[in-house]
Chain A
Amino acid sequence: MTVARFWREIPQRYNLVGTKCEVCGDVFFPPRAICPHCRRDGKIVPCQCSGKGKVLTYSVLSAASDQFSALKPYVLAIIELEEGTRVTSHLICEPEEVHIGMPVKSVFRVLDREGSDGIIHYGTKFVPDL
């Protein structure tokens, strides 16, 4: 990922800042600039997500693209945040531990490194909320 492409979304990626439609109350993370329900009648404002949620579905990946190869096997999950929106994330836990309904919370982690002297991307991942 180029510097600008990542930098552009640092507030969202570092701090789980999504958006909210003040008309229907829906929260969006990943953020949306247009509410898909209210469209132009909606009113979008920033919304800080708490980072707490639960696992809706998951998979343990034993094959990956080159970028994620070093993590194998890793848990990929769709997490529903307290605010009602869903996010796809790497879940840091033992493969045997994960289950549907598992409470999780967000953490700040290294996402990946572009080589030994390249940029390090940070962002949000999730861990079990014990």
Chain B
Amino acid sequence: MREVAVIGAGMTKFGERWDTSFRDLCTEAGIAALEDANVAGEQIDALFVGSMSAGRFVGQEHVGALVADYVGLGGDLHVPATRVEAACASGGLAFRQAVAAVSSGMSDVVIAAGVEKMTDVGDSTDVLAGAADREWESFAGATFPGLYAMIACDYMHKYGLTREQLAQVAVKNHFHGARNPFAHFQNEITQSTVMNSTLVASPLRLFDCSPVSDGAAVVVVCPLEKAREFTDTPIKVLASAQAGDTIALHDRPDFSTMGATVAAGNSAFRQAKLERKDIDFVEVHDCFTIAELCAIEDLGFVPKGTAGKFTEQGETQLGGKLPVNTSGGLKACGHPVGATGIKQIWEVVQQLRGEGGKRQVEGAEIGMTQNVGGTGATVVSHIFGRA
């Protein structure tokens, strides 16, 4: 197994990109990543594209080939392109496939892309519901906000989380998003913005939810030993973990614990030979505010039931003990589902290079990502360090 490094990263602005098509989002992020990596088309061995539901969002399947073609790798170069799908974890999983391709020795320079064009469809709620069990959750009326709301209801009942603590997750993520020029929302908000916003699925309100966004993000990986041929600031992949769980939320023993996050997190820490305290910052999957609290607990950073207090004390904000979601998270940076997992890695790369601008984590050396598919049936987690 060879060690792997990220040598380039690029993303589009996330948001309602009415003027930009699926393929143009890919090209925009792809060019940014290739320029960043200093890589020429001829050097690229393979491409992995994470997309949750291009078929239902834009009626397009076979998007591996489409993306390769439109970034100029299809026709002349015949680069092999593979689409990867695991709902909202499609991006993280595409990255994991790219890492596997390089570490196995099968390929040298590999691209991992993530993309979703969500605003071209009317009923995005129904498309997203396909990430749950269609027969036995969605057909019963479950939506994603509804499923995560049932996690929040369970969590609040067990641990006495306050509405203010939950709102603070969104306030903090908007604070970070306001410092990320690529974020969907770049405005700061207050707890009352969250608590006075309309109810979506009790107890979750509009500002507890990630938005419906368009966007793409792309990173380039290669063997660590070759990374310095391309960049002075390679970022080393210290761990690549993935875990699964039941497709339906109702089959989990504890709705407030994502078993796959616990398993993937443990595996990642084992691989990297690191302790929780070694992590300087983390990008987690806050598709809804409650999910961020569960994530930092299930990854083992704080005991179960205490993440609300930890957040309220400012420890997850820039300057705190463990900055969480400096990109703005899914809440403020936006959540084009297939792109999110790659965007998390993009953010880790910015931070580890010291290019985080107004949201730079001081002295950041080790960063982690956690990307969730559905309500936790797939979790992908990576740890990165400066090489």
Contacts and interface: CB of A to CB of B under 8 A. Distances in A.
Interface of A: 1, 9, 30, 36, 56-68, 71, 74, 76-78, 86-90, 95, 100, 111
B157 A59 contact: no
Q: Which of B122, B143, B198 has the most CB of A within 10 A?
A: B143
B129 A62 contact: no
Contact of B141 (A76, A87, A95, A100): A76
B141 A71 contact: yes
Nearest to B209: A63
A100 B203 CA distance: 14
Given A59-B153, A78-B150, A78-B250, A88 B136 contact: yes
A71 B125 CA distance: 15
Which 10 interchain pairs have the tightest Cβ spacing?
Answer: A59-B149, A65-B126, A86-B250, A30-B136, A57-B154, A65-B125, A60-B202, A57-B150, A59-B201, A78-B250
Nearest to A87: B250
Given A59-B202, A60-B202, A76-B150, 11 more contacts: A57-B154, A57-B255, A63-B125, A64-B141, A65-B138, A76-B141, A86-B251, A87-B140, A87-B250, A88-B249, A89-B140
A67 B204 CA distance: 21
Interface of B: 122-123, 125-126, 129, 133, 135-143, 145-146, 149-154, 157, 198-204, 246, 248-251, 255
A23 to B, nearest CB: 19
A1 B250 CA distance: 22
B153 A58 contact: yes
A62 B140 contact: no
Nearest to A80: B250
Q: Which of A30, A57, A63 has the most CB of B within 10 A?
A: A57
Contacts of A76: 140-142, 146, 149-150, 201
Contacts, number: 97
Q: Which of A63, A77, A90 has the most CB of B within 10 A?
A: A63
A105 B259 CA distance: 30
A70 to B, nearest CB: 11
Nearest to A86: B250
Contacts of B246: 36
Contacts of A87: 136, 140, 250
Contact of A100 (B145, B153, B202): B153
Contacts of B150: 57-59, 76-78
B139 A111 contact: yes
B45 to A, nearest CB: 38
A61 B136 contact: no
29 contacts: A1-B139, A36-B246, A56-B154, A56-B255, A57-B154, A57-B157, A58-B153, A59-B150, A59-B202, A60-B202, A61-B141, A61-B143, A61-B145, A61-B146, A61-B201, A62-B202, A63-B200, A64-B125, A64-B141, A65-B125, A65-B143, A66-B125, A68-B141, A77-B150, A87-B250, A88-B140, A90-B141, A100-B153, A100-B157
A1 B145 CA distance: 22
Given A67-B126, A78-B250, A88-B250, A62 B153 contact: no
A89 to B, nearest CB: 5
B154 to A, nearest CB: 4
Given A65-B123, A66-B126, A78-B150, A30 B135 contact: yes
Contacts of A77: 150
B136 A62 contact: no
A1 B201 CA distance: 25
A61 B125 CA distance: 12
A111 B135 CA distance: 13
Contacts of A62: 198-202
